[in-house]
Amino acid sequence: MNPIRPKPVFGIVAGEVSGDTLGAGLIRALKKRYPDARFVGICGPQMQEAGGESWFPMERLSVMGLVEVLGRIRELFSIRDELQRRFIEEKIDCFIGIDAPDFNLRVAPSLKLAGIPTVHYVSPTVWAWRQGRIHKIKAAIDLMLCLLPFEKAFYDRHELKAVFVGHPLADSIPLEHDVRHARQQLGIAPDAKVIALLPGSRGGEVSRLAPVLFEAGKKLAQKYPDAEFVIPAINSFRREQITALLAESGLNARIADERYGAGVGRLVMGAADLVIMASGTATLEAMLLKRPMVVLYKMHWLTYLLVRYMVTSRFFSLPNLLADDTLVPELLQGAATPQAVTDAASQWLDDADYRDSRISRFAAIHRSMQVNGSETGAEAIQQLLEAR
């Protein structure tokens, strides 16, 4: 017998754009099973469009790095405490944390103790570093929804219920991407040479990565004078920040902002001949769009010193992790220089064999990940609730 109410309430929290995309798909899939359900917590624009109700702006959780979190710790604790109180007061039927593990895995334990089933969607990289975290995860979570197949194997070894759901992006993005249509939407000529610059979705990472990307853009503009540079801005906060940094850099580039919709980042990537981007879920989108890419990341220097010896994985970008091979160039911390970015970008643009061989492997990975992620995740959550 299904123990939840005819009009169930799901607590749901996403902390960034990639989680917002996943959450929107999951909300729609759960609504097929529970048409009168409410979804409350912290939702981005895509989740709100799907029917989610946001109690706090998602932007307030968009902070990354140990040092950066310390500067916002009181606010984050306040949001956590208020969410826990309201979730218990609402008597939610299930809590679903989407990514943002440093926040969501601190919200979940008290809810689980209160008898509320807890789900985490997108495994933390516990398999790559700080594996001792598995004990706290088991204490907080009833069900882990994994995007990558090797993650489920890790949780199986540690006896935590996990389901491989694939990635909804692999289902929503077609195997054959229409570049021309993306360019039409952005008003870009079909034969233009387009380079997309994605410095990230969080304020801190944009401040560190944008100067490198923009300086590399100036070098590429000298080498490819006909190139057009496009930068997506996911909201007004990022648009203002990017506009200021772009003016300082002197790079001639266009900003595509939220007026193009919540999926402006995907639209810009889909129109590009090359994407130069911050590491994150957007690298998966770029791979599924079959776009050449250069991936880089810079942390606060103290964060890097603290974490570099804890990492056991060879790679940090999703395409390389999925392939267990170097499919795309990765530039981390001190290696992420404008010249290194320019050199890696030039190889994609100048070497057709290099480009074609990797695009072919992107397509093979895409096919292997098409397992209807949102529906699979919703089914796993339904089974968890019915089992209780």
Q: What is the pLDDT of residues 183-235, one digit of tens each?
A: 999 999 999 999 999 999 888 889 999 999 999 999 999 999 999 999 999 88
Give the global pTM: 0.69
Residue closest to 50 by CA, chosen among 61, 65, 40, 59: 40
- Strand, helix or coil at 239? helix
CB 378 within 8 A of CB 165: no
**Is the CB of residue 96 less than 8 Å from the CB of residue 108?**
no
pLDDT value at residue 388: 79
The set of residues, in sequence order, having a beta carbon less than 8 Å from that of 349 and lying 6+ positions away, is: 193, 224, 273, 274, 292
- The overall average pLDDT reported for the chain is 90
HSE-CB for 100 with a 13 A CA cutoff? 31
Q: Where are the alpha helices (DSSP H) in 313-351?
A: 318-323, 338-350
**Distant-in-sequence, close-in-space partners of 57: CB < 8 Å, separation ≥ 6:** 42
Tokens of 253: 């580039």
Q: Where in the chain is the domain with CATH 3.40.50.2000?
A: 9-166+371-387, 172-368
Cβ neighbours for 216, distance < 8 A, ≥ 6 positions apart:
276, 338, 339, 341, 342, 345
| Ranges of the chain whose pLDDT falls below 70 | 1-4, 62-71, 127-130, 301, 303-313
Helix (H, G, I), strand (E, B) or coil at 133: helix
As a whole number of Å, the end-to-end CA separation of the chain is 9
Query: Residue 253 belongs to what H/E stretch?
Result: none
d(CA 214, CA 276): 10
Give bridge partners of residue 256 from the DSSP assignment: 232
Name residues whose C-beta falls within 8 Å of residue 291's C-beta, 6 or more positions apart in sequence: 196, 269, 270, 272, 273, 274, 275
Name the residue among 121, 232, 237, 233 with its Cα closest to residue 182.
232
3-state secondary structure of 90: helix
CA nearest neighbour of 125 among 295, 333, 314? 314
Q: How far apart are CA 276 and CA 216, in angstroms?
A: 9
Residue 376: which residues within 8 A CB-CB, separation 6 or more?
163, 164, 165, 166
The CATH architecture one would assign to domain 9-166+371-387 is: 3-Layer(aba) Sandwich (3.40)
Q: What angle do CA 285, 262, 345 make, to 5 degrees?
A: 40
Going by CATH, does the domain composed of 172-368 fall within 3.40.640.10? Answer: no
> Which single residue is written with the structure tokens 């306040």?
78
Ramachandran angles phi, psi of 66, nearest 5°: -60, -45
CA distance 190 to 307: 44
Alpha-carbon span 207 to 203, nearest angstrom: 6
What pLDDT, on the 0 to 100 scale, is given for residue 128? 57
